[in-house]
Amino acid sequence: KNQVEQSPQSLIILEGKNCTLQCNYTVSPFSNLRWYKQDTGRGPVSLTIMTFSENTKSNGRYTATLDADTKQSSLHITASQLSDSASYICVVRGDNTDKLIFGTGTRLQVFP
Amino acid sequence: KAGVTQTPRYLIKTRGQQVTLSCSPISGHRSVSWYQQTPGQGLQFLFEYFSETQRNKGNFPGRFSGRQFSNSRSEMNVSTLELGDSALYLCASSLVDNFYGYTFGSGTRLTVV
């Protein structure tokens, strides 16, 4: 069964610290993987999209990695800011399909 | 350019009533998808429309329906509301399909009392 699992479910860090969020998937064959940031009460906003051949992609303080062999992705946030407090959702698209498989997200809270 | 616009932003309805939510996609985007988001379930796919035709449908009861107009604007309707329909309803648009991802709207927060 195609699944996307994210860990941890929630995370609390202090402002200025780094953190890493994990995404494991069983979707096969694989087309691409996206990370979205969702502020409370708002729609998700795309951070990165990675295809099979990409290992690392950065967007400012956000760096996503992908290991297609182990079917794992991570989102690393550097020098966290209060505005990073949000839910981060991992979404996988299978190959030869237009179905998106959503993870349930990691809720990140950054405190001063 | 303007993003995806959803109206209304908040809505309170009574059990048994029906509700219509509206979504205006980014100009030029022809695909519109709808999602239900609840704290326990995450994002659940409702349906997708492309060129006024429903292209995909999720596993929701027939009380949930939608349509798309010739200008790509889309509406979603829920009839005979139940308490469990309380959720954030998100609309997402893309040029043709979701291969490179969506642009999401801010959502409509529906509360059923």
Q: What is the pLDDT of residue A15?
A: 98
Q: What is the pLDDT of residue B1?
A: 63
Tell me whether residues B98 and A32 touch, CB distance under 8 A: no
Question: Do the beta carbons of residue B6 and residue B106 sit within 8 Å?
Answer: yes
Higher pLDDT, A93 or B101: A93
Tell me the per-residue pLDDT of A79-101, one tens digit each, with 9 for 90 and over: 999 999 999 999 998 877 777 88
Tell me whether residues A93 and B98 touch, CB distance under 8 A: yes
DSSP B7-72: E-SEEEE-TT--EEEEEEPPTT--EEEEEEEETTTEEEEEEEEETTEEEEE-S--TTEEEEE-TTS
Q: Which range is least confidently modeled, A79-88, B15-24, B97-106?
A: B97-106
**Which residue, among A1, A40, A42, A50, would best test binding to B if mutated, counting the most B CBs under 10 Å from its CB?**
A42
User: Within an 8 Å CB–CB cutoff, is residue A32 touching chain B?
Assistant: yes
Tell me the per-residue pLDDT of B29-83, one tens digit each, with 9 for 90 and over: 999 999 999 987 789 999 999 999 999 899 999 999 999 999 999 999 999 999 9
Q: Distance (Å, rounded) from C-alpha B113 to C-alpha B103?
A: 30
Partners of B45 on chain A (C-beta within 8 Å) are 99-100
